[in-house]
Structure 1
Amino acid sequence: MTDDESTPLRDGLERVGRFSAENRRTVFSVVAVLVVVSLAIAGASVQMSLGMELYIDDDSQTNQNWQEVKADDTFDLGNNVFVMVETDHLYEPETIRTIDRLDRRYAASGEFSSVTSLADVVRRGNGGEIPDTEREVRASIARVESTDSSAAALVSNVNPDRETALIVATYGEVDVPPSDAQYFGFLPGTAAGYLTDEVADATDHVHVPPHVDVTVTGAPVFENAAFGLMLPEMIQLFAVAFAIIFSVVFLVMRGRLYRTWKVFLPVGTALVALVYMLGMMGVVGFNFNAIMLGVLPIALGLGIDFSLQLHTRYIEEREKGYEPVDAAGAAARTTGNTLLLAMATTSIGLGALLVSAVPPTRQLGATAAFGVIAATALSLTLLVALLVELDGDEYETVDAPSDGDAAAADGGNPPSPDADQPAPEPSADDGVLGDDEPAFERFIGSLSGGIAAAPLLVVVLMLAAIGGGAAVYHDVETTQEMLDYWPDIEQRDDLAELEDTAQSPNVIYLVVEGKDAYSPTTFRRASAFETAIEDHDDVNAAMSPVTAVEIANDGEIPESRTRLVETVDRQAASELMPIGDRADTPDRFVIQLFVADIGGQEVRHLIDDTEAVADKHLATERTAVTGKPVVNRNVIENVTSGRDPMTVLSFGMATAFLALALRSLRESVLLVVSVAISAVMLISMAMYALGIPWNPLTVATGSIALGAGITYGIHVHERFKEELYVNNAAPAAAMREAMVRKSRPVIGSGATTLFGFGALGISDFPVLANFGIAVALAMTFALVTAFVFLPAAALLLARWTATYDAA
């Protein structure tokens, strides 16, 4: 099929272009109404969501186990705020009374399910009172420690050394007041933020002696501080990114536009597509988060790309002498066809993110794909209407249409350039661009000539570089610690100090459920589990109703159910052993495992070991391992588990679609291999060399490279075919014309995305900075492959095969 063949699709696109050009007020009115509706929906429903739970599926077993532990009608556990009390006079009664006042103040807030401190230990060892001398304080602590090993471990949790005491405030679900929302409700309050403020406020209302230092810390405190910095930073970065994007579009396109202010048209059209995308997010219930913020520069960059393609083609048609409406129809017919092909392929590439195990990554793919579809529709309607409406007849005719097309378009009088007009642009057969051409076009023309002179050498060199990327693809590291996602701030230093000081800064929970959970038999099996798991190098102590019963009964489990239940209920009132109310969970209880400061694969090993020990000793009960370390580990593992399937699926689907759309498997493979796969392999090599790891954001780079990179390749390749089939140009001349004609819009749009994402590279958040750098690399390599590897490979196909023989 030749490129100028009449088809229902091309004819329909031309009708759309003509309709938009002739019915501009209708187009403007419809677009305006949809903008207002989209803004209203987005403003009412789209928010910024924070927290690590966003990155696991709501219906996953991991999340269900985690929510079970956190629920206020079950265990109300899961999160711990630590208050570090540091002093050289820790065991003086005045210091213990200060800790006691802090403890009671936190408990009085009613937001914590339990508050445990060294003051509770001292009271437990001294009949409920705080002694009057340091010697008696030490003796009280020693009496509790001597009860058994579990009690000794619990004491160590709140008194890790002679100068430090820890107050541990535990909470699960929290009702956050609406007044905690910021930015007019866009950033809702979080439990971590609300309780951090509550603890800080309570601390300020307690008199603390001058020799005592108090620090509020813990994972919730750090995450609240980090998340609180994210949105303001993102607003600043996107402001910088948009300024860069607009500047790049202006600089690249000013040599092609007759009136430079018209650079606002493609940028404005892309911004309208972003508004529609926000409306779509509101309709389907998507919110912004650390990953979803990346959709803005993706959609904006691709939207500008599509708009620039149609804008530059409209200029070409006007320069041929077509009247505005006819030029609009011709641009929609030719470039519109390419845009639809690019839109579909890009949507497939981004749609492959739907197989990710990380929910925000799936949302990113769906939202970005919708943004591309909206940008395509607006380019063929709104942009066309704007171009015709604002057409000031400023275009110089440089090449009259052939076969009387211009005559038909202009009532039978073909336009002809007068003597004062500049010389026409060289045709595809001219060989060299004239000296009056802009330097940018001359450079691209020279690049094309170099590629045409030695296409095989170019292909060999590119394959060597791609092979290097393939060799290190699986050697790119994955971020193993959630802490490495966040910036270096004061709260991070406090958390690091806590992890260095506390023997058990982390807690893992084992839920035990059975028909007869509170029976001597079940408790004995649970006791055997606790004994076995405490032998693990990373577990310092276990605490549960079982432990509480053993402490109260000289290490034994009562033979009688009645006595056991009475003991559990009595111990539940103890401030030192916060084991919860049996009435809330009559068929289950939770074993808390106090864990050392471990990370990475050590967490996975501990999870697996805990499950194995539970299966051995609690085979007849349902058991589930959960906790924040478990949730964080699942997020990290989901990153790598979905990377390869997403990449393979996107490449496979794109290849199949292009083969059907182009009716050529060779062309399909050419585009996917020479642009998308090549870019991904080059990206992996750069990430390996620069030490950029895989994380929940960078794993999407492959699909983004396919989505954006294949678009660039399609623009160049389709124009190459047009020059071959319509203008009967030789392959080398056709490729030169395609590269020159597409250089400004393609490189301009690629540069917008490149620099737009590049702005993220200066972020204080490593997860965002790495994402920005990775996508900037992706855009760079996509442009390189589209303007170097693809042309060389296409020229070799034209030379050695019949791929481009016109049907």
Structure 2
Amino acid sequence: MSDRSEYTRMQRFWSWLAVEAGKRAGLVALIALLVTLVLGYGVTKLQFATGQDSYLNTDDQVYVDNVEYQDLFGGQAMLVLFTLDDGVTITDFMNEANQQELARVKEELKANDAVIEAVITPTDILDWSDALIQSPDGNPINSIAGGALLAATQADPNPDGQAARTADSVTTLERLNAIPIEERTLANPAWIDFLLYDNSGEIRLAQQSFFTDDRHVQMLVRLPGNASIEREGEGAALVADTIDNAQFEGATVTVTGAPVLLKEINDYLVGGFLQLGAIAVVIMAIILIVLFNVRWRLLSLVVVLFGVTWAFGLAGYLGIPLSLVTIAGLPIMLGIGIDYAIQMHARVEEEVLIDRDPHPIQATARSLGPALLVVTFDAIFAFLALRFAKVPMIRDFGLLLAVGIAVICLASIILPLASLGIREYRSPTTGKDYRDGFLAQLTVKMGRLPIWLAPIFAVASFAVFFGGVVVEDHIELQSDPVQWVNQSGEGITDYRYVESETGSGSELAVFVRSDDVFSQETIDFVDTFATEQIEAHPQELLTASSLPTTVLYLLDVPGGSFVQPRAEDVRAAYEAAPSDIQVSTVNPEAGALNLVFRYGAGTLEDRAVVVDQIEQSVSPPDGVEATPSGLAVVGVGLLENLVSNRAQLTYLAIAFVGIFLAIRLRSITRSLLSLVPVVIAVGATSLVAWALGLKLSPMTAVGGPLVVAACTEFTSLMLLRFVEERGRGLEPAEASDVTAARTGRAFIVSACTTMAGVAVIATSSLPLLRDFGLVVAMNVAVALLSALVVLPPLLVWADQRGWVSKRMIPDDVLRATTPKLKQR
């Protein structure tokens, strides 16, 4: 036992901390309980966030545009799809009973104006068509539609086009006159037929956004703009419940929409957060019971649970939200954080059973305390790399982990010192030397590869890393957001059904600003723009819906030329529209028109191409602005943010940790040695994903820094312990074996719990999280295996030249125990 005067000031501090924690274990326990109660209350302040501000930055143009769009025309859409029974026509479905039920449903929904913005039913569409065709005196020429059609015939520049329009008008009049004026009501199936179908028997183009084909009818419910996810969830639930309680004849009804899927995700966050944590705790408890043969073997788990509670409580007070990404924080913090407590517990047992130190708690604190601070800062710097992500929820995740791991480190030092200190004082541990045990000997054998392989490992590791860098841009991400959510949930089942039946899964909106939304220039631009985009993207943009296009489609006649509607006809059509159609299509006070494309099925990458082409091709006249927005554009913005610096986050984490270690360990060599297993894992994963053509979860953007944090935690502890053994006068090979034998049990148990904490995310029902958990668990496994197999021969080879221990142990000890230095 060395005299206390031989210790440095820092070593004396650690000794004092160990003595005081053990002597005042009761007080420490009381303080820990009070801290847990205070910070535990902070857990109740945690907010779950799945809104667009989790995915987009508030200064992103996409975010700004979408906020403006929703202020103008409302928020997310809920779609109600009526699939007609066999033998039932649309006319049959639009009978009086169903019209009355649609009216009742609309009235019930509109009564909840806090969560419902607008409701457009099939009846509203027919009412609007009726208003366009009917005239006060019964003369069709004096109707809005009649006047517009007559003007279009006169404006058609082609004589053949004029003839076609005239012939079509004659046929239309014949069909119209066949129905007496008094029977031109929606109670008459013949009148519904006239309103729905053109002269060739096809559904009129203007109606196809709601009557998509002969078997499907749609109803649209628009939720309030820029609503919270909770408010949107209430609206989605209200629509689903109201429709579920309705009675419609001749059709099955399906309700879907982005709010339904977002509500499912939000509900999962609340329950899944605790579920993933509980699974991780159970698995870790089993690992500790089976592999960690020490007294109070579950102490480490208890300690990390205290630490995690403190971490999330502090996150609640700091206002760090829980999102789709941060939900993974609980199992990850459990997995990475428990290593600290395991190492502390194992070192106490080592000092008691092997070194027989009369003051094992002080010895543990002096030897391991500084090392735990080093690896904690390793993790913090790795996690802080996530603060450079372009996605807000990933930045929040980095902050959560950085704060959490610091708090867990504090708990993992103080609580074991106090609990094990009082235990060893009252009931000293007795037992046999564990260095001959299975785990210890396995660790020794894993690290005994021939020393001559070390330079090859070093070169190969960086070759693998840079190979991964080269193929990184060729790795494909899973960019279909529908694939990110639970594929067995009712919400996704309904979504898939609607998508397969109608061919549409989303909407792309364009809001048009103009000093005068009813000017001829604005009307011409909207109609031309909509027509050109549908022609350019027929597979993606299925239909266009707006006030100008509705009138444009009214004028569409087979054989007729393209003729723009007159501004006065468009204004008249607006004034004749039901109020909910008016608020959904035009905001006269703000000078804005709404153009909505029904978007076909596809990935975000596909949509990104279309959105980019639209943005590049749009060329409005002076005084008119056209801005793509809506759900499709928001999704594209999210993908761009995820992809933009996904790989760079990993490189930043490696750089941050490497710089910190180089400064703290006072050696670039020691820093690089600690990073070798990390770069192997990062590079190998990219190469495997590229070679197998795997589609990686977009959440792998956070995977690299996690691997860096988890692995450098192990490599730094191994390197520092190797140096400690070298300082005791052991030669490099012997120091490596002693390090493995003494710490092997703790390292393997820690490796298993760390992998369990990460891998448990793979049990999530959300593919976005599940695939992320699998990839990161594979990364961590490769990194930890590399740490146990590759790092030991590298340390021995490097320190045979004095590169590892130089300036960390006395020069005389270094020269006496380093063969190549003895020869000089």
CA contact (8 A) 2:546 2:585 kept: no
1:351 lines up with 2:384 in the alignment: yes
The amino acid across from 2:364 in the alignment is A
Q: Secondary structure at the match of 1:303?
A: helix
Q: State yes or no: 1:339 paired with 2:372.
A: yes
* Residue 314 (structure 1) aligns with: 348
**Which amino acid in the other structure matches residue 197 of structure 1?**
A
Give 1:244's match in structure 2, choosing from 259, 280, 283: 283
Letter in 2 for 1:747: I
Residue deviations 1:293-351 (CA, integer Å, cap 9, x gap)? 1111121122211111122222233343434xx43222222101111111111100011
Residues 802/141 of structure 1: CA separation in 2 closer, same or farther (3 Å cut) = closer
The equivalent position to 2:394 in structure 1, one of 352, 361, 366, is: 361
Confirm or deny: 8 A CA contact 1:302 1:753 kept in the other structure: yes
Distance in 1 of aligned mates of 2:495 and 2:632: 15
Q: Give the C-alpha shift of residue 166 in structure 1.
A: 1.6
SS in 2 for 1:697: helix
1:655–1:668 CA contact under 8 A, matched in 2: yes
Aligned mates of 2:311, 2:118 — CA distance in 1: 44
Whether 1:197 aligns to 2:254 is: no
- The alignment status of 1:85 with 2:83, answered yes or no, reads yes
CA–CA separation in structure 2 for the residues paired with 1:341 and 1:289: 29
| 1:69-108 mapped onto 2 (5 Å cutoff) | 69-71=69-71, 74-87=72-85, 88-93=87-92, 95-108=94-107
> Residue 332 and residue 623 in structure 1: after superposition, are their counterparts in 2 closer, same or farther (change >3 A)?
farther
Q: Deviation string for 1:48-91 (max 9, x for gaps)?
A: 333455222233222222222223xx321442323223222123
1:277 paired to 2:321: no
Does 2:637 correspond to 1:602? Answer: no
CA distance in 2, matches of 1:139, 1:553: 16
Q: Hey, what does 2:793 align to over in structure 1?
A: 792
Change (3 A) 1:597 1:172: farther
Q: CA deviation at 1:155?
A: 1.4
Is the contact made by 1:350 and 1:369 (CA closer than 8 Å) also made in structure 2?
yes
Give the SS at the match of 1:777: helix
The worse-fitting range, judged by mean Cα deviation, of 297-306 and 107-116 is: 107-116
User: 2:672 corresponds to which residue?
Assistant: 669
Partner-residue secondary structure (3-state), 2:73: coil
Task: Write out aligned runs for 1:772-787 (5 A).
Answer: 772-787=773-788
Separation in 1, partners of 2:6, 2:690: 47
Q: Partner residue of 1:756?
A: 757
- TM-score, scaled relative to structure 1: 0.83
SS at match of 1:658: helix
- Give the 3 Å change call, closer, same or farther, for CA 772–65 of structure 1 in structure 2: same
The separation in 2 between residues aligned to 1:237 and 1:81, in whole angstroms, is: 33
Match of 1:391 among 424, 436, 439: 424
**Residue equivalent to 2:216:** 164
Q: Which residue of 2 aligns with 1:530?
A: 530
Give the structure 2 partner of residue 660 of structure 1.
663
For the structure 1 residues 91 and 519, does the alpha-carbon distance in structure 2 shift closer, same or farther, using more than 3 Å as the test?
closer
Structure 1 residue runs of 5 or longer lacking an equivalent are 177-187, 398-420, 426-432
Residues 692/17 of structure 1: CA separation in 2 closer, same or farther (3 Å cut): farther
For residues 393-439 of structure 1, give each alpha carbon's deviation from its aligned partner in whole angstroms, at most 9, with x where no partner exists.
Answer: 65568xxxxxxxxxxxxxxxxxxxxxxx96x78xxxxxxx6xxx212
For residues 466 and 512 of structure 1, the distance between their equivalents in structure 2, rounded to whole angstroms, comes to 48
Residue pair 1:273, 1:374 contacting (<8 A) in 2 also: yes
Does residue 141 of structure 1 match 2:196? yes
Between the aligned partners of 1:164 and 1:172, the Cα distance in structure 2 is: 26
Cα distance change of structure 1 residues 7 and 547 upon mapping to structure 2, 3 Å threshold: farther
Matched, 1:744 2:784: no
* Distance (Å, rounded) in 2 between the aligned partners of 1:9 and 1:619: 72
SS in 1 for 2:697: coil
In 2, Cα distance between the equivalents of 1:309 and 1:779?
Answer: 18
1:626 equivalent in alignment to 2:626? no
Secondary structure of the corresponding residue to residue 534 of structure 1: helix
The AA in structure 2 aligned to 1:358 is V
For residues 721-755 of structure 1, the C-alpha deviation after alignment (integer angstroms, 9 at most, x for no partner) is 01112x11010010111122222222212211212
What secondary structure is seen at the aligned counterpart in 1 of 2:59?
Answer: coil
Percent of aligned pairs with the same residue? 20
1:499/1:597 contact within 8 Å kept? yes
1:542 aligns to what? 544
Structure 2 vs 1, CA of residues 311 and 98 (structure 1 numbering), >3 Å: closer, same or farther? same
Alignment of 1:219-298 (within 5 A): 219-225=258-264, 227-229=266-268, 231-254=270-293, 257=294, 259=295, 262-298=296-332
Secondary structure in 2 aligned to 1:540? strand
Pairing partner for 1:215 from 254, 260, 264: 254
Per the alignment, residue 149 of structure 2 pairs with none
Task: Summarize the alignment of residues 423-462 of structure 1 with structure 2, pairs less than 5 Å apart.
Answer: 437-452=436-451, 455-456=454-455
Asked if 1 retains the 8 angstrom alpha-carbon contact of 2:257 and 2:495, the reply is yes
* Counterpart secondary structure, 1:390: helix
Of 706, 716, 722, 2:718 maps to 716
Distance of 2:210 and 2:680 partners within structure 1: 55
Question: Structure 2 stretches of 5 or more lacking a match?
Answer: 135-183, 557-562, 812-824
SS of the equivalent of 1:624 reads strand
CA 1:285/1:396 → structure 2, altered by over 3 Å: closer, same or farther? closer
Cα distance in structure 2, aligned partners of 1:63 and 1:175: 14
Letter matched to residue 389 of structure 2: S
Residue in structure 2 matched with residue 651 of structure 1 by the alignment: 654
Give 1:487 shift.
2.3
Q: Contact between 2:67 and 2:226, CA under 8 Å: does it hold in 1?
A: no
Letter in 2 for 1:722: E
Q: How many residues align?
A: 737
Structure 2 match to 1:681: 683
Q: How does 1:25-64 map to 2 (within 5 A)?
A: 25-43=26-44, 45-51=45-51, 53-64=53-64
In the superposition, relative to structure 1, how do residues 745 and 475 fare at CA in structure 2: closer, same or farther (>3 Å)?
Answer: farther
CA distance in 2, matches of 1:569, 1:477: 46
Distance 1:467 1:124 in 2: 63
Normalised to the residue count of structure 2, the TM-score between the two structures is 0.82
Contact residue 62 and residue 631 of structure 1 kept, 8 A: yes
Q: Give the direction of change, closer, same or farther, for the CA distance of 1:25–1:508 in structure 2 (3 Å limit).
A: same
> What CA distance in whole angstroms lies between the structure 2 residues aligned with 1:190 and 1:574?
23
In 2: Cα distance, 1:618 partner to 1:145 partner: 36
On the 8 A contact 1:352/1:646 being kept in 2, the answer is: yes
Per-residue CA distance 1:111-148 (angstroms, 9 max, x = gap): 443333443344444568654554443222125999xx
Aligned residue identity for 1:91: I
SS in 2 for 1:49: coil
Q: What does residue range 100-119 of structure 1 map to in structure 2 within 5 Å?
A: 100-108=99-107, 109-110=109-110, 111=113, 112-119=116-123
Alignment of 1:694-713 (within 5 A): 694-713=696-715
Residues 757-804 of structure 1: CA deviation (Å, up to 9, x unaligned): 323323332112112212221221121121112112222212346443
Q: Are 1:93 and 1:131, in contact at CA under 8 Å, matched by a contact in 2? A: no
Measured in 1, the distance between the counterparts of 2:804 and 2:737 equals 18
- Match of 1:224, SS state, is helix
> Could you say what the CA RMSD is over the residues aligned between the two structures, in angstroms?
3.2
Shift of 1:636: 2.0
CA contact (8 A) 2:662 2:671 kept: yes
Q: Give the Cα separation in 2 of the matches to 1:348 and 1:662.
A: 15
Q: Is the 8 A contact 1:552 1:567 kept in 2?
A: no
Deviations 1:5-45 (A, max 9, x none): 955444433333333233333322332221111111221x1
* Cα deviation code 1:508-529 (max 9, x no counterpart): 1222334555544444444443
Q: Which residue in the other structure is 2:641 paired with?
A: 638
Report deviation, 1:376: 1.7
Aligned partner letter, 1:601: E
Change (3 A) 1:286 1:17: same
Question: Structure 1: how far apart are the matches of 2:217 and 2:519?
Answer: 36
Query: How many Å separate the matches in 2 of 1:692 and 1:51?
Result: 29
